[in-house]
Structure 1
Amino acid sequence: MTADAFLDAVAGVCLIAGALLSLAAGIALVRFPDVLSRMHAAAKPQVLGLLLVLLGCALRLRTGVDITTLVLVGMFQLATAPVAAHMVGRAAYPHEDIRRDLLIADELADHLDRLRADRSEEAEAPPPVRTP
């Protein structure tokens, strides 16, 4: 087996493994019961699946411009996926869309009453008067 054939085989394995992880993330988005579980499924295996696909593409393409582009795509994905998952979790937490019985540690429970009180005060406040 030549070096090119070996690299092509490794690239194929990376591409298939990445595609399967991305498929598992997509299935989990449909099957998991609440927002926090879906957020975890969207962030973890999807990012690893994309990185494996990018690695497979880099092993197959082997040119400097292509590898640089693939590295940039991977870096942006690693930088944005955790931030997006964190923002989704923070936005979904005060609502009743999550199952608190599935949480191992609920570190924001003390702040939930304060958030609800702030929202009720906003709802009770009269709308501002607009003058022409």
Structure 2
Amino acid sequence: MTLDVIATYATAVFLLIGSGFVIVGVIGLLKFNDPMTRLHAPTKVGTIGIGMLLLASMTHAFASGDGSLHELLIMAFLFVTAPISANFIAKVNIHSRTCEVPPSPSRDDTWSTLKSPDLDQEIKGGVQE
């Protein structure tokens, strides 16, 4: 087996694995009803699926002699921004109370995103929300 044949098989395997993860993410996005459960499908599974598709693209590019590292930059951007956007979407759902509210903290009552210190409550008291 030559290196080209191995690279072709590796590209095919990466494409199949990536496509499988993307399909599972799409099915999860369509099947789940609650916004917080729907959040896991595209962020967790979709990130791995897109990462595998980009890895397939890199493998094919290097096998054909047109090596490209643009996919590494795309993967880095994707792996950095996906958790941040998922965190913001989760916070919006928690604050708008469209999902279950997290339990109250046991020791400290000001660390939670839904509880403000008493001083903040006094400041907000004069402002209409």
TM-score by length of 2: 0.75
Structure 2 letter corresponding to 1:40:
H
Distance in 2 (alpha carbons) for counterparts of 1:12 and 1:106: 49
1:27 Cα deviation from its structure 2 partner: 1.2
* Equivalent residue runs for 1:1-132 within 5 Å: 1-62=1-62, 63-64=66-67, 66=68, 68-99=69-100, 111-112=113-114, 122-123=128-129
Residues paired across the two proteins, number: 115
Q: Which has the higher helix share?
A: 1
**In angstroms, what is the RMSD of aligned CA positions?**
2.6
Q: Displacement of 1:99 after TM fit?
A: 4.0
Could you tell me how far 1:33 is from its partner in structure 2? 2.4
State the 1:106 CA deviation.
6.8
Aligned equivalents of 1:111, 1:15: Cα separation in 2:
40
Q: Does the CA-based 8 Å contact 2:94-2:100 persist in structure 1?
A: no
The answer on whether the counterparts of 1:34 and 1:99 sit within 8 Å (CA) in structure 2 is no
Deviation sequence 1:32-90 (CA, Å, 0-9, x none): 121111111111110100110011111111133x2x11111111101110110000000
Q: Structure 1: which 5+ runs fail to align? A: 124-132
Residue 26 of structure 1, CA deviation: 1.1
**TM-score when scaled to structure 1?**
0.74
Instruction: Please give the secondary structure, in 1, of the residue aligned with 2:14.
Output: helix
Shift of residue 122 of structure 1? 2.4
Between 1:30-39 and 1:44-53, the stretch displaced more is 30-39
